């Protein structure tokens, strides 16, 4: 029995990118180029880490944001870090760099030399969505009145 090749689900990918755009806009507020917003992540009065949003570049139709996190496990595990492009004209945000790796394809043959999953690009954008949603639900920033 021949295994069918993975087909990119564009509708799902675009939906995830659109939702991430809205999440990022809420978290960024009016943050300008060169500025950083730190969101303290806590649970039951215990600080778990900090979600860091750094506006690298800002233009009328696109912005580039570095999303990273620091926390209690930084000495043992490399903290997650990604670069996200926000496309303001279509209201979408896309992960373009993860852990210093760039240019993710829409699909990969599996197995492959780098062990990317067939839907690697979709998984990275889903991870960003879960990460941002966690920041919105459990984060606290002193310069934003309310994240929820």
pLDDT in tens, 43-69: 777 777 899 999 999 999 999 999 998
Give the distance from CA 124 to its chain's centroid. Answer: 7
Cα separation, 57 vs 85, in Å, equals: 9
* 45 contact partners, CB below 8 Å, separation of at least 6: none
pLDDT exceeds cutoff 60 at 147 = no
Which of 25-39, 44-58, 78-92, 113-127 is predicted with the least confidence, judged by mean pLDDT? 113-127
| Global pTM exceeds 0.95 | no
pLDDT in tens, 95-141: 998 876 666 665 656 665 765 566 778 889 999 999 899 889 888 77
Give the distance from CA 98 to its chain's centroid. Answer: 9
Domain ranges within the chain, ordered by starting residue: 20-138
């Amino acid at each position: 029995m021949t295994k069918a090749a993975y087909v990119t689900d564009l509708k799902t990918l675009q939906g995830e990118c659109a939702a991430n755009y809205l999440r990022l806009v809420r978290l960024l507020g009016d943050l300008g180029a060169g500025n950083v917003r730190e969101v303290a992540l806590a649970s039951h009065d215990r600080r778990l880490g900090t979600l860091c949003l750094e506006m690298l570049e800002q233009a009328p139709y696109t912005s580039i944001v570095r999303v990273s996190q620091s926390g209690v496990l930084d000495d043992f595990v490399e903290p997650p870090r990604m670069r996200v492009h926000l496309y303001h004209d279509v209201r979408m945000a896309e992960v373009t760099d993860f852990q210093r790796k760039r240019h993710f394809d829409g699909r990969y043959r599996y197995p492959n030399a780098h062990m990317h999953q067939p839907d690697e690009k979709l998984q990275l954008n889903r991870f960003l969505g879960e990460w941002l949603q966690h920041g919105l639900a459990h984060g606290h920033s002193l310069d934003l009145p309310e994240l929820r």
